[in-house]
Structure 1
Amino acid sequence: MKENIEELILNHLKESADEFEAQELKNATLETKLYTGLGGVLDSLALVSLVSDLEELLSQKFGKEIILADEKMMSVKNSPFKDVKSLAAYIHKTLESL
């Protein structure tokens, strides 16, 4: 399942590079840094859009309602929005707990 999540995130980032005004995302990898506050390419508005998009895509793919921007995520010591790999790991862990 983790590989499916990574693929879903990477595909969405590549498809959304123009919308997010981040051309670096066209060549996104697991190491791609996401949030600008953590040295990444997405500003806060683009990050909110990414989170919303991913919640919908993940719900469709796995048939489970998932909320990525919740209190638990905000209290995580190491942000899951650091890079694609950490985001995929966070999503995988969250889906397993549902």
Structure 2
Amino acid sequence: MEKDTVKKIVLETIAEFCDNNGIEVEDEITSESRLIGKSGLFDSMDLVNFLVDLEEVLEDTFDKGFTLSDERAMSRSHSPFMNAEELTKFILELDGEE
């Protein structure tokens, strides 16, 4: 898996999720756009639903299952869900463990 490919998938899935769920996006979605927290795009339920969508897209694209919202991800001091850049790194990390 290449970083640019994964990042593109993450960004496209964020944009599609926002469009499909009526989430207003003030600026263009970039790899540094906040996903959670103050001024983030998603509340906690949005994040869970987005991660399910992203897991499906990743599985369809790479023919490989991913579990993005496991205990290890949730217990980190630096959230992998902060923005698309961190989420991309986390996905690549999970891929490297297989």
- TM normalised by structure 2 equals 0.88
> Structure 1 residues 66, 25: closer, same or farther in 2, change over 3 A?
farther
- Structure 1 match to 2:66: 66
Which structure features the higher share of helix residues?
Answer: 1
Gaps of 5+ in 2: none
* Paired position in structure 2 for 1:85: 85
Distance 1:88 1:30 in 2: 9
Query: Is this contact kept in 2: 1:15–1:26, CA < 8 A?
Result: no
Q: Contact 1:58 / 1:64 at 8 angstroms: preserved in 2?
A: yes
For CA contacts below 8 A with separation 6 or more, give which structure has more relative contact order: 2
> Which one-letter code corresponds to 2:21 in the other structure?
F
CA 1:95–1:26 in 2, change beyond 3 Å: closer, same or farther?
A: farther
Unaligned regions of 5+ residues in structure 1, if any? Answer: none
Q: What pairs with 1:32-51 in structure 2 (closer than 5 Å)?
A: 32-35=33-36, 37=37, 39-51=39-51
Identity among equivalent pairs (%): 31
Give the corresponding residue for 1:16: 17
Query: Paired residues, what number?
Result: 97
- What's the offset of the Cα at 1:9? 0.8
- Root mean square deviation of aligned Cα: 1.7
Determine the structure 2 residue equivalent to 1:95.
95
Deviations 1:43-79 (A, max 9, x none): 1111011100011111111111110011111121100
Q: CA deviation at 1:20?
A: 3.3
Which 4+ runs in 1 deviate beyond 3 A?
none
TM-score (norm 1): 0.88
